[in-house]
């Protein structure tokens, strides 16, 4: 393979065979010859293919490495996200006692469905969480509101007993309230 004139010129300058001025003058002459068409640039097929092959291999290797890093990062993120979800879901399922009481008070929903859900969540709490809930600042408010609901519903049942009203649904709601009172160990007034 014959080296190009530009490379030969650069090597001679690097070896100290040419001064800077001589190098620039010869390079200028060569460049002017190429731009005017007097000098033809020739590339050997071997030098062109050799120049591209390592570059292709390099890009292939870099591509594989980048893909491997991407897959590893994706798997790491997914694994981290799954463990975070498991921890979060565990916390949601096992809500703390004080948070359960606070949520129920804030929603102020005394429907049968809401009472049933609260009762189910209460029974699922471990004893130390139930104790923490009883010690929370909102627990007395919950008990007070529960007593008011029981008294109110008892009055509805008593009034409905003397009429053709739907006594069964009022009695069922009172039963739900009383079940909650029992679960919370509320002393009921007679």
pLDDT at 164: 59
Confidence of residue 93 (pLDDT cuts 50, 70, 90): very low
By mean pLDDT, which of 1-10, 62-71, 105-114 is the weakest? Answer: 1-10
Which is more confident, 133 or 95? 133
pLDDT at 91: 47
For residues 112-117, average pLDDT: 89
Contact residues for 157 (Cβ-Cβ < 8 A; gap 6+): 167, 170, 171, 174
Closest residue by Cα to residue 120 from 100, 149, 91: 100
Confidence of residue 46 (pLDDT cuts 50, 70, 90): low
Rounded Cα gap, residues 27 and 43, in angstroms? 18
């Amino acid at each position: 393979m014959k080296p190009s004139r530009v490379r030969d010129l650069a090597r001679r300058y690097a070896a100290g065979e040419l001064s800077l001025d001589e190098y620039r003058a010869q390079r200028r002459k060569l460049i002017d010859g190429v731009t005017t068409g007097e000098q033809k640039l020739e590339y050997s097929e071997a030098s062109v293919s050799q120049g591209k092959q390592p570059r292709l291999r390099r890009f292939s290797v870099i591509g594989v490495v980048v893909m491997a890093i991407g897959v590893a990062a994706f798997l790491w993120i997914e694994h981290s996200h799954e463990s975070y979800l498991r921890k979060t879901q565990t916390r949601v399922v096992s809500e703390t006692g004080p948070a359960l009481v606070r949520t129920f008070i804030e929603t102020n929903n005394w429907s049968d469905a809401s009472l049933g859900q609260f009762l189910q969540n209460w029974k699922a709490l471990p004893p130390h969480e139930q104790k923490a809930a009883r010690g929370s600042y909102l627990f007395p408010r919950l008990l007070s509101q529960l007593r008011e609901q029981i008294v109110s519903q008892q009055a509805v049942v008593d009034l409905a007993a003397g009429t053709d009203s739907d006594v069964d649904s009022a009695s069922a709601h009172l039963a739900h309230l009383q079940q909650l009172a029992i679960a919370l160990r509320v002393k009921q007034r007679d």
